Amino acid sequence: MNIPHDSATKHVSGQSVYIDDILINSQLLVGRVVYSKHAHAKITKLDLEAAKKFHGVHAVLSYKDIPGHNQMGPVVHDEVCLAVGIVECIGQAIVLIAAETEEIAIAAEKLITIEYEPLEAILDIRTAIEKNTLLGPVRTMQRGDADAALKKTKHIITGELETGAQEHWYLETQSCVCVPGEQQEIIAYSSTQHPSETQAIIAEVLGVGKNEIVVETRRMGGAFGGKETQGNWTAAWSALLCHATKRPVKIRLFRDDDQIMTGKRHPYLIRYEVGFDDAGKIDAMKVEQNADGGYATDLSLAILERAMLHADNSYYIPNILVTGRAYKTNHPSNTAYRGFGGPQGMAGMETIIDRIARTLKKDAADIRKLNFYGIDKDNITHYGQEVELNRLHVLYDKLINTSEYYARRKAVNEFNVKNEFYKKGLALTPVKFGISFTTSFLNQAGALVNIYKDGTILVNHGGTEMGQGLNTKILQIAAAELGVSNAKIKVNATNTSKVPNTSATAASAGTDLNGMAVKNAIDTLKERITGLFAKEFSKSSPENPSLQENIAIENDLIFDRKNPDRKIPFDEAMNVCNFNQVSLSATGFYKTPNIGWDKATGWGKPFNYFAFGMCVSEVMVDTLTGFYKNLRTDILHDVGESINHGIDKGQIEGAYIQGVGWCTTEEVKWNDKGHLLNHSPDTYKIPSVQDIPEDFRVEIMQGIPNPNAIRKSKAVGEPPFMHAFATWLAIKDAISAVGDHKHEPKFKLPATNEVILLSIEELKKRH
Amino acid sequence: MQQTISFVLDGKIQTLTFNETFGPTTTVLNFLRKSAEHKGVKEGCAEGDCGACTVVIGELNTDNKITYKAMDSCLVFLPMIHGKQLITVENLKQQKGVTEVLHPVQQEMVDCNGSQCGYCTPGIIMSMFSLYKNENNPAKESIDDALTGNLCRCTGYKPIIEATAKACVNNGEDHFVRNEKQIVELLSQIKDSTNSIGINTATQKYYQPKTKAEAFEMRNKMQDSVLVGGATDVALRVTKRHEVLKEIIDLSNIEELKKCTITDYVIKFGAGMSLEEVRKISRNELSALHETLSVFGSRQIRTLATFGGNLGSGSPIGDTLPILMAYDAEIKLQGVDGDRVVKMNNFILGYRQTDRKPNEIITSIIINKPSTNTIVKFYKVSKRKDLDISTVSAGFSVTLDKNKVSGITLAYGGMAATTKRATEAEVFLMANEWTRENIEQAMPMIEKAFTPISDARSGAEFRSVVAKNLLMKFWSETSNQK
Ligand SMILES: Cc1cc2nc3c(=O)[nH]c(=O)nc-3n(C[C@H](O)[C@H](O)[C@H](O)COP(=O)(O)OP(=O)(O)OC[C@H]3O[C@@H](n4cnc5c(N)ncnc54)[C@H](O)[C@@H]3O)c2cc1C
Ligand code: FES
Ligand code: FES
């Protein structure tokens, strides 16, 4: 099915309402966050008096004014809401202001005196490793004996890969409006991926019960992981100001403040040692992943875990040892970002394959194929999960043909012989991505489905809409499961008073989990409705009663399959239900079955299933400037049976381009004091319309249903992000051509034109 | 002078007086977002880089028709839309009874799955609408160019390009055409009653003269005032640094500054011409200037930004500076004391310092069309190819007699505190053969000529390497080497 996004007409006509668009009465105050200008310092003086007296200011709060717990850490409680005596990164919140206008708030901020005594700051991962500032225990996952196998292997490569941070750059910055109710009550309209946690954090900082707080999320203007935990911040801050002033308060971070204050994708330093034979088959691999977690734990440990679980990407490695460490530094706490560590883990693996190919002077696609997980054998991952329904081989066979890989390889080589100043590169990379929260208990979801007497239906579920089309898919699922037309159904804004205690909309699992919960609620309602109409239909002919099992709901009609003349339109029927005292409201619940694993031993079945995909990309590099052009990119991706082709395709294209941004132009740099240099789109460059492939072919693999998820579909949010590695490694292939593929080029992620050009210069010197 | 401004919004003339809520440097974006009916327009950056705030401005042209232009409303001060039609995303659909009829650009976006989170969408719709009104069956390059100023983090752009191509096929036919007469009448009404504007609030003085002469007088009286061309630089002082600009002279309504004269040998651009206009005019005879402006900001930016504004700040990374040096262009400066012409090569005196006297205004830019044996080229290296500020830029020209160099300019931006020429390399190459050997000898001289800085855009080493490589690139392109 291909219906448009359920908000599409609202989007295009400017009628979709985001936090900043909500109409609030003239009592609304503007909230402002005063944050640290030092990466690590003692606060020696904090004087708020002048600001408090400024005309139009309604509240100026420091940690002393927090009625509940001064804490926002989602997992580990190491993240204060407002700084107490010490600041640990630039951007850390110290003081909150509520004022009548933004101008007044800005003026009031200037009246606040904060004096600091700077302390030593750790601003890069290498220093953190040296000082051993671990955020959590060292983790390992292993199979076989990597050390022993490395001793016996024919070829050994060792190396290092640096992957950079990535700013989410959701178009809508972090925002929340809190509206006070009676006494302790607050309704928070929040741009959050995790309303239940936002509710919890607000309740905790205010020291009130969660039943006083309602969090509602209609839609986000993009999130990508950046609002999984850090959407809580603006919510907690505006709630504090709302509580203090008893007036509605809105905080919407200005773009630069958002970029300075919030965490990013974790930078990783990956060290590896790999052994392989003459054919390129890997015998053994040791990988060490080091993550820059920023100043607090946030989700760093779960992200590290996923990075480790994807250290193999799509390849069977008999002897493997993966070691993971997350370190504390004095940057804002890094956080979830599409792929959640998977991209970093897989970048390491793909670098290794690329190097094996160069060492053996073979085509990297062949090395990949050789090492893919097998169908019947060599199909157990390094954490003990079988790679069931392995689609790598079908995808490869199809894509290698449709992309004309080998013919283009030849053409690329010929071009490179003929041209000195321009070089082309080509690469194929696979994706295998595990679907489920690796913290198993989080794999649960709830729903509340209300049918009204006129036959219209309001579906509530715990997931949040951030552009990924979750609500559209939920609408389609609800319509299909209930047997009514799409037009009868409305998916409601996510609201913690409708569906409580939910998990974040993350891990690509929004549709899988919430779709199932909605189905569960609808099953209950159908049971009640068909029960009633079995009785109703039987009234007129007790001799030939209608049986409940034969009552069906299809195309807005309730009828008896055996006696098709016994029927009633759905709308009319709902009135009858109400008259007969049948409840038309039901909750639904779902938990993913058959998963579970032992985090301590790193062994078990963390994932419900895997999503697969493959990409071939061809680029041309200008060897004099380092600019590259994305000439053609072919993606073949597995989404099981697509619930909505247009939405799935949009996710694949969008994820790939976002991945290309991370791999190429999106550079995050800090100076030696810890100040973020790229704090606005002036210097932080996400892909523009001109950066997509000149020839961009995206196809959804057909005919491979997924038995393990709702309506045989598959999660699609994150996996296609990693297709960008084909482009990244095609760039490396083009650089490598400068040295006739004889030398290993210096390379990292992102491959900015600076990285590309300096790598070429270095190759020229060696060649 | 009149204290109020008037423009057409939602089909009606709106007249604004300035007060605490709206000052003369309030941006159109902030004005719209304060009204309940225009929340469709979004702020994504407040610095012209994302396009979420894109609106379309309708201007009455000389044929009494309306010209539609997409702009970033976050960079437009309210008085700059005086006498114009302000069109927002809310104005595109039509209400027919209970049903809403979408504009073709909106309908195609729905049909092509062009929106995901939807936050960028209103801005994109407005860029599409502007293209719809200006070009039928636009070429791929034109679609890309029209959308460059609109960042979308969700879609990967493909469906948006597709929707734009599919929509722009009706010769601009829509309800704006049908209502044009009425709007033209309203705009003429404003125009006829307009004087120069002078707005005085408790903290600000804002003047918008209609003639050069008035402007010179005002400038002479207020030599510390901020001159405004298109405000794409100046507005950031307000939106990002929260400065209160005390005295402003806005040159955007002076028709005399927007004139262009073309003779057989010379093109004279008015300093108030938008860079988009300059780009169009320079396509054939000043192709390097055209190239410069094709990777300059976005269409929304170039529509606002003026030629004079790019020179006015004297910024070392202003893209037209090196290319004007390569063309050996001249800058005309005028004021109450008269006028004078300065060579571009003498115009820049230091970091953001120019030869312009405090009471002068840049009024035109004069470029001689290059002779047939002169090749002029512009190169821009930035992190992202489009809508980015130069890390390094270069304006080169070489005049060749047979294969011997008889004239050469190698001007660089981003390599020093000012736009600067690589004099030693120029001297070396002059009167020499235009060969690879000589280029290779000159390259280290370029490296030596500069000590660039490391900053958010790149490290110093990259700048040095690129700067010398660009000479090789220039040579390879002038001698057809691959
Ligand atoms: C998103 C974005 C992208 C940009 N991209 C580029 C780019 O690619 N390349 C580039 O070079 N720049 C770029 N800029 C910078 C800016 O747009 C240009 O410098 C532009 O040419 C400025 O013109 P303006 O008319 O808007 O200037 P204004 O902002 O109006 O003025 C700029 C300066 O010039 C002075 N001035 C204006 N007119 C005159 C005059 N007639 N006489 C004397 N002084 C005058 C003003 O007082 C001010 O100091 C970009 C800016 C933004 C916001
Ligand atoms: S808000 Fe981003 S361009 Fe105006
Ligand atoms: S649809 Fe989300 S930014 Fe474009």
Which residues, in sequence order, are CB contacts of A555 under 8 Å at separation 6+?
Answer: A483, A484, A485
Ligand 3 centroid–CA B301 distance in Å is 20
Q: How many CB atoms lie within 10 A of CB A464?
A: 30
Indicate yes or no: CB of B482 within 8 angstroms of CB of A418. yes
Q: Which atom belonging to ligand 1 lies closest to the Cα atom of A681?
A: 1
List of domains in chain A: 26-120+174-252 (3.90.1170.50), 268-438+599-766 (3.30.365.10), 444-591 (3.30.365.10)
Beta carbon of B360 within 6 Å of any ligand 1 atom: no
User: Is beta strand A249-252 parallel, antiparallel or unpaired with respect to A29-35?
Assistant: parallel
Chain B: nearest CA to A412, how far in angstroms? 15
**Which helix (H) or strand (E) element contains residue B96?**
strand B94-96
Backbone angles phi, psi at A160, to 5 degrees: -140, 145
CA distance A383 to A353: 20
DSSP A632-663: EEEEEE--BS-S-HHHHHHHHHHHHHHHHHHH
Chain B: nearest CA to A683, how far in angstroms? 6
CA dist B397 → A557, A732, B342, B366, B434 (Å) = 77, 33, 19, 17, 12
Please name the residue of chain A whose CA is at the shortest distance from the CA of residue B244.
Answer: A103
Backbone angles phi, psi at A538, to 5 degrees: -80, -20
Indicate yes or no: CB of A757 within 8 angstroms of CB of B118. no
* 3-state percent helix, strand, coil for chain B, nearest multiple of 5: 35, 25, 40
Mean pLDDT of B239-243: 96
Fold of B104-173: DNA polymerase; domain 1 (1.10.150)
The two three-digit tokens of residue A127, written as one number: 């220093």
Q: What percent of chain B has pLDDT over 90?
A: 96
Q: Where are the alpha helices (DSSP H) in A116-217?
A: 125-131, 146-152, 195-206
The two three-digit tokens of residue A39, written as one number: 């990466």
CA dist B79 → A141, B13, B409 (Å) = 65, 14, 41
The two three-digit tokens of residue A586, written as one number: 């039901």
Domain spanning B375-478: CATH superfamily: CO dehydrogenase flavoprotein, C-terminal domain (3.30.390.50)
Mean pLDDT of B136-155: 98
Ligand 3 centroid–CA A369 distance in Å is 36
Domain at B5-90+178-250: CATH architecture: Roll (3.10)
Q: How many CB atoms lie within 10 A of CB B397?
A: 22
- Beta bridge partner(s), residue A604: A597
Q: How far is CA B389 from the centre of its chain?
A: 12
CA distance A500 to A194: 11
The two three-digit tokens of residue A627, written as one number: 């600019």
pLDDT confidence of residue A190: 98
Contact A720, A652 (CB under 8 A): yes
pLDDT confidence of residue A740: 96
> Class of B255-368 per CATH?
alpha beta
Token pair 């991209």 in the structure block, residue: A343
Interface probe, candidates A2, A110, A171, A415, chain B, greatest B C-beta count within 10 A: A171
The two three-digit tokens of residue A754, written as one number: 């600076």
Indicate yes or no: CB of B158 within 8 angstroms of CB of A653. yes
- Determine if the peptide bond prior to A750 is cis (ω within 30°): yes
CA distance A65 to A67: 6
Contact B92, B105 (CB under 8 A): yes
B/e letters for B269-286, b = 16+ CB within 10 Å, e = fewer, are: bbbbbbbbbbbebbeeeb
The structural domains of chain B, with segments of one domain joined by +, span 5-90+178-250, 104-173, 255-368, 375-478
The two three-digit tokens of residue A148, written as one number: 């022993």
A718: annotated active-site residue: yes
Binned at pLDDT 50, 70 and 90, residue B364 comes out as very high
Q: What angle do CA A136, A140, A144 make, to 5 degrees?
A: 175
B108-131: per-residue pLDDT in tens? 999 999 999 999 999 999 999 999
Q: Which of A434, A457, A431, A444 is nearest to A512 (CA)?
A: A444
Does position B193 have pLDDT exceeding 90, yes or no? no
Which residues, in sequence order, are CB contacts of A484 under 8 Å at separation 6+?
Answer: A455, A457, A553, A555, A556, A570
Residues of chain A falling short of pLDDT 50? none
Q: Where are the alpha helices (DSSP H) in A508-667?
A: 510-539, 570-579, 645-663
Beta carbon of B51 within 6 Å of any ligand 1 atom: no
pLDDT confidence of residue B482: 66
Ligand 1 centroid–CA B236 distance in Å is 10
Contact B121, A12 (CB under 8 A): yes
Beta carbon of B312 within 6 Å of any ligand 1 atom: yes
Mean pLDDT of B56-72: 96
Which residues, in sequence order, are CB contacts of A282 under 8 Å at separation 6+?
Answer: A274, A275, A276, A315, A317, A318, A352, A356, A371
Q: Which residues of A touch B469 (CB under 8 A)?
A: 624-625, 757
User: Is beta strand B85-87 parallel, antiparallel or unpaired with respect to B54-60?
Assistant: antiparallel
CB pairs under 8 A between A and B: 242
Indicate yes or no: CB of B465 within 8 angstroms of CB of A758. yes
Q: What angle do CA A288, A261, B31 make, to 5 degrees?
A: 145
Strand order in the sheet with A249-252: A57-61, A93-99, A29-35, A249-252, A175-180, A186-190, A213-217, A494-495
Beta carbon of B389 within 6 Å of any ligand 1 atom: yes
Binned at pLDDT 50, 70 and 90, residue B430 comes out as very high
Indicate yes or no: CB of A106 within 8 angstroms of CB of B242. yes
CA distance B441 to A362: 38
Which residues, in sequence order, are CB contacts of A457 under 8 Å at separation 6+?
Answer: A449, A450, A451, A478, A482, A484, A488, A489, A490
Mean pLDDT of B306-332: 96
Domains B5-90+178-250 and B375-478 share a fold: no
- Beta bridge partner(s), residue A427: A617
The conformational region for residue B3 under phi > 0 = left, psi -120 to 50 = alpha, else beta, is alpha
Q: Which of A9, A222, A468 sits opposite B119 (nearest CB)?
A: A222
Q: Which of A353, A713, A698 is nearest to A510 (CA)?
A: A713
**Which helix (H) or strand (E) element contains residue B81?**
none
Contact B119, A18 (CB under 8 A): yes
CA dist B376 → A175, A201, B278, B412, B478 (Å) = 49, 62, 17, 14, 9
A663-706: per-residue pLDDT in tens? 999 999 999 999 999 999 999 999 999 999 999 999 999 999 99
